[in-house]
C-alpha cells in the first residue's frame, strides 16, 4: 500500500481501540493468574475483583516449589517432552527428507494416511492404547508417554520438516554427490547444517505439544511420582481446591517453559502452521 495516504482520524482511533481490545483480551487472563498468585492469602477474598492487589507476596510461589511435588511433576514433564521432541524430530526429519527428495511408489498413500491421522480424534484410540500399555506392564511409566507422544506428533512434524527441506536447493546435494559423496554423506555434511533452524522449530513445536498434553497422561499415569505437569496440576487443584493463591502460582510456573519455547519458535509459526495445510 502507498505510504502517503489521506487518513481518516476516526479510522485511526478505531484502529488503536481495536489494538487495545486484542491486547487486553489476550493478556488479561494471564495477568489475573499472576495477580492472584502474588496476592497474600488474607487479601484474596476482600480484594476479589480489584485490578491491583494492595500488597504482594512471593510466598505462594515458594510454597508451591518447596512444599509440594511440583518439582517432581516438572521434572517428569521435562523428561517426557524432551524425549518426545528428540525422537519425533529425528524420525520426522527422515520422513520429511524422503518426501522432499524422492518420488517413490506409495508416496501419495503414505502422505494421505499421515493427513488422516492428523484429523481423526486421537481420543478414539485411548481405550486400545490403555489396554496395550497395561498388558505390556508399562502403565505409570514415562516411556509409554514418550512413545505415544512421538507417534502422535510425527505426521505434523514430518510436513513441517518437509517444508524446510523443500526450501534447501537440491543442487547443493547434487553437487556434493557429484563430487563423490554418498547420499547419506551429502545429507549429513550439506543438508543437515542448513536445516538446523528447521530442526529447532520442530523440536519446539513437539516440546510444547507434549508439555500440554493432558488426557493421555491422565489415563496412563496414576501414580503420583510419575505424573506429568498437567496431571499433577489437576490433582493439585482437586486436592487443595481452596488454596487459590498456590494454584495460580503453580499455573504461572507452568507457563514458563512453554513461553520460552514459544519465543524461540515464533519465527517459524507461519511456516509450521501452513505447511501441513497446503503442502503435500
Partner 1 sequence: MISRTQKSVRPGETRARRSLYLQYMVEPFFYLSPAIILIGAVVMLPLIIGISYSFQSIELLKPFAYGWIGFKNYVDLWSDRKFWIAMENTLFWTFWSITFQFLLGLGLAMLLNTQFFGKKLFQALVFLPWAVPTFLSALTWAWLFNPVIGPLPHWLAALGILSEPYNILGDPKLAMWGPITANIWFGVPFFAITLLAALQSIPGELYEAAEVDGATPWQTFTKITLPFLAPMIAITVMLRTIWIANFADLIYVMTGGGPANSTQILSTYIFTTAFRKLDFGYASTVAVALLVILLICAVILLWLRKKLVKI
Exactly one of 27, 172, 175, 196 binds partner 1 (CB under 8 A); that residue is: 27
Give the binding-site size for partner 1 (rule: CB under 8 A). 97
Contact between 259 and partner 1 by CB under 8 A: the answer reads: yes
Which DSSP string do the residues of 125-182 spell out, in sequence order?
GHHHHHHHHHHTT-TT-HHHHHHHHHHHHHHHHHHHHHHHHHTS-HHHHHHHHHTT--
* Least distance CB 85 / partner 1 (angstroms): 14
- 72: Cβ contacts below 8 Å, ≥ 6 apart: 225, 227, 232
Exactly one of 64, 84, 95, 176 binds partner 1 (CB under 8 A); that residue is: 95
Q: Which is nearer to partner 1, 42 or 263 (CB)?
A: 263
Contact between 46 and partner 1 by CB under 8 A: the answer reads: no
Q: Do 41 and 245 meet the contact criterion of CB atoms below 8 Å apart? A: yes
Rounded distance between C-alpha atoms, residue 95 and residue 175, angstroms: 22
Residues 58-77 that bind partner 1 (CB under 8 A): none
Options 23-31, 58-66, 68-76, 192-200: segment touching partner 1 (CB under 8 A): 23-31
* Least distance CB 49 / partner 1 (angstroms): 4
As a whole number of Å, the end-to-end CA separation of the chain is 32
Contact between 198 and partner 1 by CB under 8 A: the answer reads: no
Q: How many Cβ atoms sit within 10 Å of the Cβ of residue 208?
A: 20
Exactly one of 57, 63, 140, 212 binds partner 1 (CB under 8 A); that residue is: 212
Amino acid at each position: 500500500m502507498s505510504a502517503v495516504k489521506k487518513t481518516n482520524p476516526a479510522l485511526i482511533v478505531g484502529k488503536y481501540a481495536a489494538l487495545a481490545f486484542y491486547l487486553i483480551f489476550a493478556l488479561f487472563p494471564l495477568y489475573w493468574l499472576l495477580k492472584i498468585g502474588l496476592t497474600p492469602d488474607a487479601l484474596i477474598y476482600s480484594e476479589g475483583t480489584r485490578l491491583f492487589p494492595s500488597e504482594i507476596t512471593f510466598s505462594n510461589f515458594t510454597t508451591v516449589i518447596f512444599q509440594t511435588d511440583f518439582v517432581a511433576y516438572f521434572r517428569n514433564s521435562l523428561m517426557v517432552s524432551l524425549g518426545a521432541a528428540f525422537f519425533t524430530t529425528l524420525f520426522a526429519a527422515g520422513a520429511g527428507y524422503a518426501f522432499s527428495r524422492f518420488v517413490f511408489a506409495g508416496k501419495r498413500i503414505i502422505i494421505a494416511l499421515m493427513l488422516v491421522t492428523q484429523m481423526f480424534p486421537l481420543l478414539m484410540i485411548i481405550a486400545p492404547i490403555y489396554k496395550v500399555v497395561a498388558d505390556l506392564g508399562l502403565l505409570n511409566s514415562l516411556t509409554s508417554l514418550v512413545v505415544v507422544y512421538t507417534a502422535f506428533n510425527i505426521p505434523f512434524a514430518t510436513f513441517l520438516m518437509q517444508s524446510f527441506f523443500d526450501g534447501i536447493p537440491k543442487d547443493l546435494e547434487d553437487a556434493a554427490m557429484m563430487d563423490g559423496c554418498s547420499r547419506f554423506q551429502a545429507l549429513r555434511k550439506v543438508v543437515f547444517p542448513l536445516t538446523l533452524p528447521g530442526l529447532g522449530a520442530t523440536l519446539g513445536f513437539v516440546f510444547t505439544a507434549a508439555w500440554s498434553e493432558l488426557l493421555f497422561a491422565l489415563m496412563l499415569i496414576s501414580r503420583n511420582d510419575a505424573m506429568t505437569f498437567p496431571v499433577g496440576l489437576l490433582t493439585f487443584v482437586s486436592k487443595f481446591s481452596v488454596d487459590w493463591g498456590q494454584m495460580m502460582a503453580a499455573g504461572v510456573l507452568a507457563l514458563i517453559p512453554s513461553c520460552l519455547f514459544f519465543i524461540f519458535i515464533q519465527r517459524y509459526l507461519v511456516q509450521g502452521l501452513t505447511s501441513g495445510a497446503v503442502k503435500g
